[in-house]
Structure 1
Amino acid sequence: MKSALITGITGQDGAYLAQLLLNKGYEVYGVIARRSTDTLWRLNYLGIKEQVNLIEGDMSDLSSLIRAVQISNASEVYNLAAQSFVGTSWEQPILTANVTGVGVVNLLEAIRLTDPTIRYYQASTSEMFGLVQEPIQSETTPFYPRSPYGVAKLYGHWITVNYRESFNMHTSSGILFNHESPLRGIEFVTRKVTDAAARIKLGVQDKLHLGNIDAKRDWGFAGDYVEAMWLMLQQDQGDDYVVATGKTTTVRDMCEIAFKHVGLNYIDHIVIDPQFYRPAEVDLLLGNPTKAMKQLNWEPKTNLEQLITMMVDADMKRVKGEVQILAEVQ
């Protein structure tokens, strides 16, 4: 039986990847940082919490990462751990650099020192393109990150390439464009919108405050994108791949889909709030997934409308449950 180790297993991508690997017959291990709050809700949501093996560790602690690699006896390691909220990266730039950037080389060193034949996946991001240098971004588009998060991810990306070229290790980076799901954190704009649509429809919220709703993003479904991660580590050589839908949509259009699904007009409920503007905005992201489609035989299966309605339906169910519990308490 193959064994895999996932950092960031309690996040959106980690949970979906764990589910995919379990379905493929893997023994799945996950590195989990000690927290006082419940971080396992996504694994519970997918019904896989009892099927994964959790190991305490931290991306800033090399010894704990070496221990996790040894305990898991993994042949594949997927690094999905990060301080991943772009907005927070301006408020906590050093934490973001340590976890999202230096954490990568810690994990690569843990692998190199334990077993350099282990195959490694690095979660890179379209935020590395930032102030885009080409209208459609591919693996050869120059990077120009516009946030401490993007800068930290760029270090993680290049150190992954460097270990591939320096030590002949099987390391791959997936340059993933925005990918969402019902497991997305509430602080991300898509989930903020779908949750608000549900709450406004059910009468427990009045308005939704947003920043730049004319920003354009290439949005896909996280459940589709984790398959590309797995496919990268099945190739003969490590490489870098853009994972995207190849279609871009404004936040405004995404809002329209979400609110329309519950019979509302988004214009009646959205307030443009300057406090949600980024210090340095990324106006347009649009990925070219041709390489991933050709070399990995991968393609996105879920379009934006299907994705947003799936998320709204999940949030309607969640909020109805909250309202019911509140009513019972009162």
Structure 2
Amino acid sequence: MKTALITGITGQDGLYLSEFLHSRGYRVFGLVRGQNNPKAEALARTHPYVTVLHGNLLDISSLVRAVAVAAPDEVYNLGAISYVAYSWDNALMTSDVTGRGVLNMLEAIRLYEEHAEKRVRFYQASSSEMFGKVQSVPQHEGTLLWPRSPYGVAKTFGHYITINYRESYGMHASSGILFNHESPRRGPEFVTRKVTRAVAEISLGLRSSIALGNLDAQRDWGFAGDYVEAMWLMLQQDVADDYVIATGVTHSIRDLLDVAFQEIGIADWHPYVHQDPALIRPAEVDQLIGDASKARRQLGWQPRVSFEELIRMMVRSDLDAHVSAQEAV
């Protein structure tokens, strides 16, 4: 039986990945920050097969302990402060957790490998935000990185330090440069979930409008459940490497609104949406669209859920959640 340790396990990707690994017979450990983290209680209810370990990406001693206890075959580093807009408000914390946290995790694994004489395969969650001011369209593994947010800069550090440890210490360390991936588990601060949640509430008469920033911003959106399989596939390869994971198709916020409102029977969303200049990023990224041909060719990976299916799934999930909450009252 293989063993995996997942940081950021209570997030969207961590939950899908833990389910994926459990279905393949893995013993799964999850790193949770803080002794009284309410997310750990929720995880215990929904994913009882996960063994929770307490630790912090900024505390290397806690990571050393967690790796020693789990004795993992694979480590998936998904932990980060991942909300791009927040990274401008707290650039220092974002840099520490999202950047230095990767170095701490790699060092904890290196020390474990040295003393336990066991090889550990490491996955780093890199991001399309590293491309920022894009230098080519679509973006591939060799595209120059030009991040345009503190989050993107921190992810770029994490990406390069992973490559550095692979080349310097011979570690089996791979990075997945994942483009935007969403699901009903996406946090409400992210634009896709912000929209689908608001649309559900508009449908139920619980609100009348939604405020958004740049409606012309375009992203390459996929389904998180598809993307975690790519993470796993990377660590099954004989040689560690970096891979872009994306659908290769972009959609604008306007497209997102079209599909979401159509799901509740509204053809024209304009009366329900207003633009708020305060929600526009200080530096917007350019057209992010990923070229995942390397992952398709070498990993045999491809996305299964389309953009339209994804957004409809999220709207229905938010509708069901509100209906269930009302019935429980």
Normalization by structure 1: what TM-score? 0.96
**Secondary structure class of the residue paired with 2:163:** helix
- TM superposition shift of 1:7: 0.2
**Secondary structure class of the residue paired with 1:50:** coil
| Residue 164 (str. 1) matches residue 159 (str. 2) | no
Cα 1:24–1:48 change in 2 (3 A) is farther
| Residue 306 (str. 1) matches residue 309 (str. 2) | yes
Q: Corresponding residue for 1:3? A: 3
Indicate conservation of the 8 Å contact 1:11/1:42, yes or no.
no
2:135 counterpart letter in structure 1: Q
Indicate conservation of the 8 Å contact 1:7/1:31, yes or no.
yes
RMSD: 1.3
In structure 2, runs of 5+ residues without a counterpart are none
Q: 1:292 aligns with which of 292, 295, 300?
A: 295
**Secondary structure class of the residue paired with 1:247:** coil
Question: Percent of counterpart pairs with the same letter?
Answer: 54
| Residue 266 (str. 1) matches residue 264 (str. 2) | no
Please list the CA deviations of residues 85-117 of structure 1 after superposition, one character each: whole Å capped at 9, or x if unmatched: 000000010100110000000000000000161
Take 2:41 and 2:292, find their aligned partners in 1: how far apart are those partners?
31
| Residue 130 (str. 1) matches residue 128 (str. 2) | no
1:317 counterpart letter in structure 2: D
Q: Corresponding residue for 1:151? A: 153
1:68-87 matched pairs, under 5 angstroms: 68-87=66-85
**Secondary structure class of the residue paired with 1:209:** strand
Take 1:320 and 1:33, find their aligned partners in 2: how far apart are those partners?
32
Indicate conservation of the 8 Å contact 1:12/1:42, yes or no.
no
**Secondary structure class of the residue paired with 1:5:** strand
Cα 1:62–1:37 change in 2 (3 A) is closer
**Secondary structure class of the residue paired with 1:141:** coil
Q: Corresponding residue for 1:38? A: 38
**Secondary structure class of the residue paired with 1:115:** helix
**Secondary structure class of the residue paired with 1:39:** helix
Normalization by structure 2: what TM-score? 0.96
1:288 counterpart letter in structure 2: D
Q: Corresponding residue for 1:318? A: 321
Which range moved further: 134-143 or 314-323? 314-323
1:88 counterpart letter in structure 2: Y
Indicate conservation of the 8 Å contact 1:180/1:222, yes or no.
yes
Indicate conservation of the 8 Å contact 2:32/2:40, yes or no.
no
**Secondary structure class of the residue paired with 1:149:** helix
Q: 1:252 aligns with which of 251, 254, 257?
A: 254
- TM superposition shift of 1:209: 0.2
Take 1:323 and 1:284, find their aligned partners in 2: how far apart are those partners?
40
Take 1:163 and 1:37, find their aligned partners in 2: how far apart are those partners?
31
1:32-71 matched pairs, under 5 angstroms: 32-34=32-34, 38-40=38-40, 43=43, 48-71=46-69
- TM superposition shift of 1:49: 2.0
Take 2:295 and 2:54, find their aligned partners in 1: how far apart are those partners?
33
**Secondary structure class of the residue paired with 2:107:** helix
Q: 2:213 aligns with which of 211, 214, 234?
A: 211
Q: Corresponding residue for 2:17? A: 17
- TM superposition shift of 1:225: 0.1
Take 1:295 and 1:321, find their aligned partners in 2: how far apart are those partners?
43
Indicate conservation of the 8 Å contact 1:42/1:183, yes or no.
no
- TM superposition shift of 1:268: 1.9
Please list the CA deviations of residues 213-238 of structure 1 after superposition, one character each: whole Å capped at 9, or x if unmatched: 10000000000000000000000011
Take 2:36 and 2:127, find their aligned partners in 1: how far apart are those partners?
29
Indicate conservation of the 8 Å contact 2:35/2:54, yes or no.
no
Indicate conservation of the 8 Å contact 1:19/1:48, yes or no.
no
Take 1:41 and 1:320, find their aligned partners in 2: how far apart are those partners?
24
Take 2:156 and 2:182, find their aligned partners in 1: how far apart are those partners?
21
- TM superposition shift of 1:239: 0.2
1:169 counterpart letter in structure 2: M
Cα 1:226–1:240 change in 2 (3 A) is same
2:293 counterpart letter in structure 1: T
Q: Corresponding residue for 1:202? A: 204
2:317 counterpart letter in structure 1: A
Cα 1:235–1:134 change in 2 (3 A) is same
